[in-house]
Chain A
Amino acid sequence: MSQYPDFAFEINQNEYLAEGAREVHAVVTLTATSATGGAAAPAYGAPAPGAGGEKVEVIIIDCSGSMDYPRTKMMAAKEATKVAIDTLSDGTYFAVVAGTEGARVVYPTGGHLLRADYQSRAAAKEAVSRLHANGGTAMGRWLGQAGRIFDAHPNAIKHAILLTDGKDESETPADLARAIQASIGTFTADCRGIGEDWEIAEVKKIADALLGTVGIIREPERLAEDFREMTANSMGKEVADVALRLWTPKGAVVRFVKQVNPTLADLTGKRADGGGPLIGDYPTGAWGAESREYHICVEVEPGNLNTEKLAGRVTLVAKDSAGVTALGEGKIRAIWTNEEEKTGRINGRVAHYTGQAEMAAAIEEGAAAQEAGDMPTATARLGRAMDLALESGREDTVKMLRKIAEVDPDTQRVLRAKSKSDVNKGDVMEAVLDSTKTVRTNKRTGGSGS
């Protein structure tokens, strides 16, 4: 079986709780080091790492009629797809799908996948050159087609890139939901929207379910670099299906399990049975050499003073044809004490990510209120977001918020949200999407290891 990356496991929390307190918070930091000793992103033409780590990449390009308005969108999509093909590691199986109201496999045409090499890359790029925009948008069918392609390689590390420029208007929302549901656990997907005529909420549903990211491409010439990055990132993956396995004591409630770095992603609803009623598995997708952080909140029955309870045991597990392999483990503890000096400590990481998540939620809610014309709510939420952005030193976010809200030039605080007619839709979309990217903190004030 393939080698797994080495995982370093760190838990940051303040395990000391005041008498009667129920909520236990912890930030889990997972850092994987490549099992093959390779870098996270292999250079062009490098062989796929890990002898057993077969990979399949499917690139889905929106070829609806609107991709020609402006024409630069279709041109950029073709260019970016070619760059992605060139970024594939040698030996990677790959396919290109043209998405319209249907989903046509434009490469390969012979029915079975070919490995990336000089010839297959050239043939694929030739096919991409002949793509043209004509038709509707049915992302559910695109996902279905990708699923059929992946089916022939059940044990591979499977990833899709999906590019769209519009709304999913050639099928019903139920069709899309069914297609998403069928894809969960089969492959992961990163999604990009080009232009401003697509719906964040719609595309986010796909990306969230398939453990990927959503990004907006406002300038078509930046698409190629984005595709190159996504492909390189995918090529660096060494293990396909990794889950956070969380044991919690009887009577406990898992309030949430969120990925908080590098991007925010709520995994709470993705809980799957991990072997018994007290154990749940939260999928984290594929891993290469990378580091991510997760914020876990468990509510437990308070214990007596000066007693300790295990509030959670976190195990990182890889699931593949070889079965389930534990890659690391850590404890979330709870100790009840009257010592205020201990209970009063705020764990720097927990506080930081609590703030980042609140900021992202405030921007999303503020943008929705702005769209709906609810100006008092929009002002309040964007104001809160600005406070948090300033607090955590997120200068880019501050700049983005200034485009969608009027700001006091001296204090930088939000005076009022701009009205919908006064803002550029792309600016709002960018602010919303950017807020789900988080920065790391080294603050561990009063924090305590596992």
Chain B
Amino acid sequence: MTVGTAVGTGPGATTAGPEADTAMALQLTCPKCGATDLEADQASRFCEQCGYALAEAVTGDEEPGTAEDPKPCVSCGGTEIDAEGYCTDCGDLQPRRRDRMEVDFKAVAGVSDRGLRHHRNEDSMALGPAFGPDGRTLMIAVVCDGVSTSERPDEASAAAVKTAAKLLLAAIAGGSAPDGPGPEPTRAGPVETAVMETVPETVVAETIAPETLSPEPSTAEEDQPRRGRRADLRAVSRQAVIDADHAVSGLARDADHGNPPACTYVCAIVDTDVTLAWLGDSRAYWLDERGTSRALTRDDAEEGSHAIEAWLGADSGGPEPHLASFTPDGPGVVLVCSDGLWNYVEKAADLAAIALPGALTDPFTAAEALVRRALADGGHDNITAVLVPYPVQPPAEGVSTTGVSRQP
């Protein structure tokens, strides 16, 4: 068996690199029960401890694995909480899982927080490993931010990340682009060009150099299968956005008063290349310690404005996502985040200074640090940060084994 990007944890498997071959499966922490001796590959997609299906990405919003004792009301101590989370005595809404979602796979991790000024968390994330038919392990990270002027934005973002992640995992497992549009979407080229050419002035310095973002890199190492994979992953990325748009559109009701549920979208698939798809003002960044940290996405928003120009939802008009891919030239970390983070720390170099070097081996702690910074600076919005170390790798020895999808 050949595992493309995963790095074994066994003795001797020390070579880390985009194309390192190893026979060892990726080691992951079970998102449900926290088991750490989980060997996840194409052959075993279920946790042997609890049966959790790794074919599902994790959002941090899952029902707890074990029945929790009912907690008393945080306001009045009442013991009866209804199915929707309201105290049946004082009516106060109890803290929800969504208020603070934490997911730690070790090889990818994310934190999503309500922040200090909103009454609920309208951001959602989905992350986890994706297994290709050839034994390759990829990492996916999806972040959506509910449009706060729409109805039920939290439901919009939750539906979007779940739908997109499901499609991504299935399509990657199937080894090719899903049915539907051809492998190379007709508008992918022009959209990508637009990304390269019209980056806003303020982030030019941080933007990917055109050659690394080129749709057809001509580096010496470039091989045909890899180019094919990249095209497939773009097609898959695009289909995931279309599926997510349908899912969010399906939430619309007559009573929405012209503001049907809506959300932004950003997704990174980390393989030997990083494939990006986005709509709205949620972002992806490349962070490294070599001074080449940069934004990977360009907002669908008027410069300096929070009014986004593209979104998912019934009134989205069938959006065409921006697509891009690039090949990092060394170790680093892909950050996928909502504007609740980058409103406080916008420059890639500043984000890198907070996240690195820890994020390379412990992305969860680094994601916590990023979120903590946004909270300390005001926490005006919901904050979501997902970090994917590159190359795709297992946790370092000795890192504590925190169960993921946990409730603080």
Residue among A278, A308, A331, A337 having the largest count of chain B Cβ atoms under 10 Å:
A308
**Which of A71-79, A152-160, A247-255 contacts the other chain?**
A247-255
**0 or 1 for each of A275-303: is its CB under 8 Å from B? (1 = yes):** 00010000000000000000000001101
**Which of B365-392 touch A at CB < 8 Å?**
none
| A361 CA / B257 CA spacing, docked (Å) | 31
Q: Say which residue of B87, B117, B151 sits within 8 Å of A448 (CB atoms).
A: B151
Q: Say which residue of A311, A339, A444, A448 sits within 8 Å of B91 (CB atoms).
A: A311
The reply to whether the CB of A321 lies closer than 8 angstroms to some CB of chain B is no
**How far in angstroms is the closest Cβ of chain B from A444?**
5
**Which of B81-110 touch A at CB < 8 Å?**
84, 86-93
In the complex, are the beta carbons of A447 and B91 less than 8 A apart?
A: no
**How far in angstroms is the closest Cβ of chain A from B387?**
27
In the complex, are the beta carbons of B93 and A338 less than 8 A apart?
A: no
| A252 CA / B91 CA spacing, docked (Å) | 10
The reply to whether the CB of A354 lies closer than 8 angstroms to some CB of chain B is no
The reply to whether the CB of B116 lies closer than 8 angstroms to some CB of chain A is yes
Once A250-B76, A307-B93 are accepted as A-B contacts, the answer to whether A10 and B255 lie under 8 Å apart by CB is yes
**Which of A333-359 touch B at CB < 8 Å?**
335-339
Q: Which residues of A contact B257 (CB under 8 A)?
A: 444, 447-449
**0 or 1 for each of B46-87: is its CB under 8 Å from A? (1 = yes):** 000000000000000000000000000001100000001011
The residue of chain A having its C-beta at the shortest distance from the C-beta of B78 within the complex is: A250
Q: Which residues of B contact A307 (CB under 8 A)?
A: 92-93, 119
In the complex, are the beta carbons of B76 and A309 less than 8 A apart?
A: no
**Which of A294-329 touch B at CB < 8 Å?**
300-301, 303, 306-311
| A450 CA / B257 CA spacing, docked (Å) | 11
| A250 CA / B91 CA spacing, docked (Å) | 8
The reply to whether the CB of B120 lies closer than 8 angstroms to some CB of chain A is yes
The reply to whether the CB of B118 lies closer than 8 angstroms to some CB of chain A is yes
The reply to whether the CB of B309 lies closer than 8 angstroms to some CB of chain A is no
Q: Which residues of A contact B86 (CB under 8 A)?
A: 309-310
Once A448-B257, A450-B255 are accepted as A-B contacts, the answer to whether A335 and B119 lie under 8 Å apart by CB is yes
The residue of chain A having its C-beta at the shortest distance from the C-beta of B256 within the complex is: A449
Q: Say which residue of B76, B116, B119, B151 sits within 8 Å of A308 (CB atoms).
A: B119
Once A249-B91, A309-B92 are accepted as A-B contacts, the answer to whether A338 and B151 lie under 8 Å apart by CB is no
**How far in angstroms is the closest Cβ of chain B from A27?**
12
| A16 CA / B89 CA spacing, docked (Å) | 21
| A249 CA / B92 CA spacing, docked (Å) | 9
**Which of A145-170 touch B at CB < 8 Å?**
none
In the complex, are the beta carbons of B255 and A449 less than 8 A apart?
A: yes
| A450 CA / B255 CA spacing, docked (Å) | 8
| A289 CA / B93 CA spacing, docked (Å) | 35
In the complex, are the beta carbons of A250 and B90 less than 8 A apart?
A: yes
In the complex, are the beta carbons of B89 and A250 less than 8 A apart?
A: yes
Q: Which residues of A contact B93 (CB under 8 A)?
A: 307-310
In the complex, are the beta carbons of B256 and A249 less than 8 A apart?
A: no
**How far in angstroms is the closest Cβ of chain A from B143?**
22
Q: Which residues of A contact B87 (CB under 8 A)?
A: 249, 310
Q: Which residues of A contact B90 (CB under 8 A)?
A: 249-251, 301, 309
Q: Which residues of B contact A335 (CB under 8 A)?
A: 119
Q: Which residues of A contact B119 (CB under 8 A)?
A: 306-308, 335-337
Q: Which residues of B contact A308 (CB under 8 A)?
A: 92-93, 119-120
In the complex, are the beta carbons of A449 and B151 less than 8 A apart?
A: yes
The residue of chain B having its C-beta at the shortest distance from the C-beta of A348 within the complex is: B257
Once A250-B76, A338-B117 are accepted as A-B contacts, the answer to whether A309 and B91 lie under 8 Å apart by CB is yes
The residue of chain B having its C-beta at the shortest distance from the C-beta of A449 within the complex is: B255
| A246 CA / B117 CA spacing, docked (Å) | 30
| A309 CA / B256 CA spacing, docked (Å) | 21
Q: Which residues of B contact A252 (CB under 8 A)?
A: 91
| A251 CA / B91 CA spacing, docked (Å) | 10
Q: Which residues of B contact A337 (CB under 8 A)?
A: 117, 119
**How far in angstroms is the closest Cβ of chain A from B21?**
51
**Which of A228-269 touch B at CB < 8 Å?**
247-252
**0 or 1 for each of B107-127: is its CB under 8 Å from A? (1 = yes):** 000000000111110000000
Residue among B76, B116, B118, B255 having the largest count of chain A Cβ atoms under 10 Å:
B255
Q: Say which residue of B92, B120, B253, B255 sits within 8 Å of A303 (CB atoms).
A: B92
Q: Which residues of B contact A447 (CB under 8 A)?
A: 257
**0 or 1 for each of B248-273: is its CB under 8 Å from A? (1 = yes):** 00000101110000000000000000
Once A448-B257, A449-B257, A450-B255 are accepted as A-B contacts, the answer to whether A249 and B89 lie under 8 Å apart by CB is yes
**How far in angstroms is the closest Cβ of chain A from B19?**
49
Q: Which residues of B contact A449 (CB under 8 A)?
A: 151, 253, 255-257
Q: Which residues of B contact A310 (CB under 8 A)?
A: 84, 86-87, 91-93
The residue of chain B having its C-beta at the shortest distance from the C-beta of A311 within the complex is: B91
**How far in angstroms is the closest Cβ of chain A from B76?**
7
**How far in angstroms is the closest Cβ of chain A from B92?**
5
**How far in angstroms is the closest Cβ of chain B from A424?**
44
Q: Which residues of A contact B91 (CB under 8 A)?
A: 248-250, 252, 300, 309-311
**How far in angstroms is the closest Cβ of chain A from B100?**
14
Q: Which residues of B contact A278 (CB under 8 A)?
A: 89
**How far in angstroms is the closest Cβ of chain B from A390?**
27
Q: Which residues of B contact A336 (CB under 8 A)?
A: 119
**How far in angstroms is the closest Cβ of chain A from B125?**
21
**How far in angstroms is the closest Cβ of chain A from B119?**
5
**How far in angstroms is the closest Cβ of chain B from A23?**
15
The residue of chain B having its C-beta at the shortest distance from the C-beta of A306 within the complex is: B119
Q: Which residues of B contact A303 (CB under 8 A)?
A: 75, 92
Q: Which residues of A contact B75 (CB under 8 A)?
A: 303
**0 or 1 for each of A427-450: is its CB under 8 Å from B? (1 = yes):** 000000000000000001001111
**0 or 1 for each of B9-24: is its CB under 8 Å from A? (1 = yes):** 0000000000000000
Q: Which residues of B contact A301 (CB under 8 A)?
A: 90
**Which of A193-232 touch B at CB < 8 Å?**
none
The residue of chain B having its C-beta at the shortest distance from the C-beta of A247 within the complex is: B88
| A447 CA / B151 CA spacing, docked (Å) | 10
Q: Which residues of A contact B151 (CB under 8 A)?
A: 448-449
Q: Which residues of A contact B255 (CB under 8 A)?
A: 10, 449-450
The residue of chain B having its C-beta at the shortest distance from the C-beta of A341 within the complex is: B149
| A337 CA / B380 CA spacing, docked (Å) | 12
| A336 CA / B76 CA spacing, docked (Å) | 18
List 22 A–B pairs whose Cβ atoms lie within 8 Å, in order of A's numbering: A247-B88, A248-B91, A249-B87, A249-B89, A250-B91, A251-B90, A300-B91, A303-B92, A306-B119, A307-B92, A308-B119, A310-B91, A310-B92, A311-B91, A335-B119, A336-B119, A337-B117, A337-B119, A339-B117, A447-B257, A449-B257, A450-B255
- Knowing that A250-B76, A306-B119 are A-B contacts, what are 16 other residue pairs whose CB atoms are under 8 Å apart, sorted by A's residue number? A10-B255, A248-B91, A249-B89, A249-B92, A251-B90, A252-B91, A303-B75, A306-B118, A307-B93, A308-B119, A310-B86, A311-B91, A339-B117, A447-B257, A449-B256, A449-B257
Chain B positions within 8 Å of A, measured between CB atoms, are 75-76, 84, 86-93, 116-120, 151, 253, 255-257
Chain A positions within 8 Å of B, measured between CB atoms, are 10, 247-252, 278, 300-301, 303, 306-311, 331, 335-339, 444, 447-450
Minimum-distance CB pairs A-B, first 8? A249-B91, A310-B91, A308-B93, A310-B86, A449-B255, A309-B91, A306-B119, A335-B119
